[in-house]
């Protein structure tokens, strides 16, 4: 899996005792589909995982961008920029 293909988001609010992560990555499946792998949960704990299959890379990329936009609207921020 390529590291530039991973989106890693955090949502941290100490006043609400909130420390969440959301990670998405794309990878080819054994059958030629594209897997969009999503993992989310509390930072420092194992997260839940969901895998969605798409026919093409373009469909997977569009879904990933849509999900990323929704998370950013819900106060998630890019973990690589947070420092």
Q: How confident is the model at residue 5 (pLDDT cuts 50, 70, 90)?
A: confident
Residue 46: exposure state from Cβ atoms within 10 A (0-12, 13-18, ≥19): exposed
Domain segments of the chain: what residues? 3-78
pLDDT attached to residue 80: 80
Inform me whether the pLDDT recorded for 39 exceeds 80: yes
From the options 2.20.140, 2.40.240, 3.30.70, 3.10.20, give the CATH code of 3-78.
2.20.140
What rounded mean pLDDT belongs to the chain?
A: 90
pTM of the model: 0.85
Q: Which helix (H) or strand (E) holds 81?
A: helix 79-82
Q: How confident is the model at residue 3 (pLDDT cuts 50, 70, 90)?
A: very low
pLDDT tens for 66-81 read: 999 999 999 999 988 7
Question: Distance between the two ends of the chain, CA-based, in angstroms?
Answer: 23
């Amino acid at each position: 899996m390529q590291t530039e293909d991973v989106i890693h988001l955090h949502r941290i609010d100490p006043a609400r005792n909130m420390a969440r992560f959301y990670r998405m990555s794309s990878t080819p499946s054994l059958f030629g589909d594209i897997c969009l792998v999503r993992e989310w949960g509390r930072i420092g704990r194992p997260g839940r995982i969901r895998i969605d299959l798409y026919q093409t890379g373009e469909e997977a990329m569009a879904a990933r961008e849509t999900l990323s936009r929704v998370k950013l609207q819900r106060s998630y921020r890019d973990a690589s920029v947070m420092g």
